[in-house]
Every structure is written in structure tokens, then in C-alpha cells.
Amino acid sequence: MTTKAKIKHLTVWITGASSGLGEALAIEFARRGARVVLSGRNTAKLEAVKNKCKKPKKHHVVAFDILDAEQTKAAYHTVMSQAGQVDWLINNAGVSQRSLIMDTEEAVERQLMEIDYFAQTRLTRLLLPAMIEQGGGKVVMVSSVAGLLGTQYRGAYGAAKAALHMWANSLRAELSEQNIQVATIFPGFIQTNVSINALTGDGSTQGTMDEATDKGLSAAAFAKQVVKALAKDKEYVIVAGQKEKLATVLNRVSPSKLYQVIRKAKVT
């Protein structure tokens, strides 16, 4: 079966689909023929993204607050009743951080963990029994290069994304015999509003664009690379610039050398 044919027959549920990476992924999956379920908190924004997708009437919008356990359960039931089944779940919802550890309130660290880790694992656990019953599926966690490399201003965010990565590894080991595939995506700097929406030490949003984010890979280019890799059943997908990719290699070869570089680097 060709890559295009495989994608064409999929129903793909994407969280955080109202903008940024989620929006780009929804458009790319739809372009390749998949039926997409778009989720986020804002119905109007999700409908706008759906209308950008190829054959918009084919797709579904299910809005909910992923931090709310009851709303998440209700959304799951709505998706299953509307779509019938979900072949791939793309756990993309999340928020970043821009604050030093010493300046970050514990409540903000907990908020980051709730959004970037617990909300993702909760939704995955809800969907897994149905995936197993239907004969298999794919769970995709959108982690971050920050989940591989600890850098300044992203202490709790990197920790949450690393936790997601490790949880995905365990899930892969536990459910491989049930035909559940697990993939983890590690984006580097991508041109989205991630830095604008990032939480600062007191929980307020940063409200400004980082230079590195502004000069990053386009969201559309990111989505094309990700969908292509997932269609080839890649399990670890790093989508980043050359410097970030080099840093991940150096981290495997010599973590001490990498952190000498990171300590001296201007990170914002």
C-alpha cells in the first residue's frame, strides 16, 4: 500500500488544532486525503481551520477544554459517535514556558505539567481501548527538542515534554503486541505563536515573539515532514534546524560538551 493510500483511509484526531502546528498538521493530513477531527477550545477558530482543509465537509470539529477531565470524556464520546473510530491520535495540545526556574512559581510548573503531560496521557488512555478493539492504531506525542535538551527558561516545559517522551516509550513497549504504534515528534524552532503564548514565572503569557522562533521552520514545512515520517512508521521524528539537530547528536555523544555550549549560549 502506498503512503498516499494509507493516509487516505485514516481518521486522524488532532488536539491543539486551532492554530500553529495543529492547524498545519490538519491541513496536511486533509490534503493527503485523511478525515480529520479537529479539537481545541475555540469552536470558531477550529471551524476556520476546517474550512482551510481540502473537502471541509468531510472533517469534524469537536471543541473542548483538554484540562477538564469531564469535557475530555464527553469529547471522546462525541468523536466516536461522529467518526466511528480514530486510527491516529495526534496529541499536539500544549503550552511553552519562558521563565527561569528560580523565578517560576510552583503553581505555574504544575500548570505546565497538567497541560503538557497529564492532559495528553489522559486522552490517550481514554482512546486506547477502542483502538485495541478495532485492531490497532497509532498514538503520536508532540514532545519538543526541549524534552531532549534542558535549556534556560524552559525548565518545567522541558521536564513535561521529557516525561511525555518517556511515557510514550513505555506505552510502545507495553502495547506493541496489540498493534498499537507509538511515535514521538520533537519540534525545534517552528514559526508559530508558541513563544507569544508561553507562560512566564507568574503564569502570565509572554506576549512577544522570540527571534529564534520567528526565524524557524514554517509550520507547513514541519507538517509535511511529520506526515511523511509517520506514514513511513518512523517512531522518533526530530523536525528542527541544523543547530538543534546537531545539539541532539552532541547530547548522545558528549552531554558535558553540549552543556558547555548551552551555558554560554544566549537563550531566550
- pLDDT value at position 148? 92
Q: Which residue has the cell 474550512?
A: 51
Residue positions annotated with a catalytic role: 157
Is the model's pLDDT at 5 over the cut of 60?
Answer: no
Per the CB < 8 A criterion, the answer to whether 37 and 13 are in contact is yes
Tell me what the pLDDT averaged over the chain comes to.
92
- pLDDT value at position 150? 84
Q: Which residue has the cell 525548565?
A: 155
Mean pLDDT along residues 209-217? 72
pLDDT, tens digit, 9 for 90 and up, residues 20-35:
999 999 999 999 999 9
pLDDT, tens digit, 9 for 90 and up, residues 128-144:
999 999 999 999 999 99
Mean pLDDT along residues 69-86? 97
H helices present in the chain, as ranges: 3-8, 20-31, 43-52, 69-83, 106-113, 119-133, 155-175, 211-214, 219-231, 242-253, 255-264
pLDDT-based confidence at 267, cuts 50/70/90? Answer: low
H helices present in 9-104, as ranges: 20-31, 43-52, 69-83
Is the model's pLDDT at 199 over the cut of 60?
Answer: yes
Mean pLDDT along residues 93-97? 95
Which has the minimum average pLDDT: 10-14, 30-34, 261-265? Answer: 261-265
Percent of the chain, pLDDT > 90?
76
Q: How far is Cα 268 from Cα 119, in angstroms, rounded to an integer?
A: 26
Structural domains of the chain in order of their starting residue, each with its CATH number: 3-264 (3.40.50.720)
- pLDDT value at position 1? 45
Mean pLDDT along residues 221-247? 92
Q: How far is Cα 42 from Cα 260, in angstroms, rounded to an integer?
A: 42
Mean pLDDT along residues 79-88? 97
Is the model's pLDDT at 259 over the cut of 70?
Answer: no
* CB proximity list for 227: less than 8 A, separation 6 or greater: 7, 25, 28, 29, 32
Is the model's pLDDT at 169 over the cut of 60?
Answer: yes
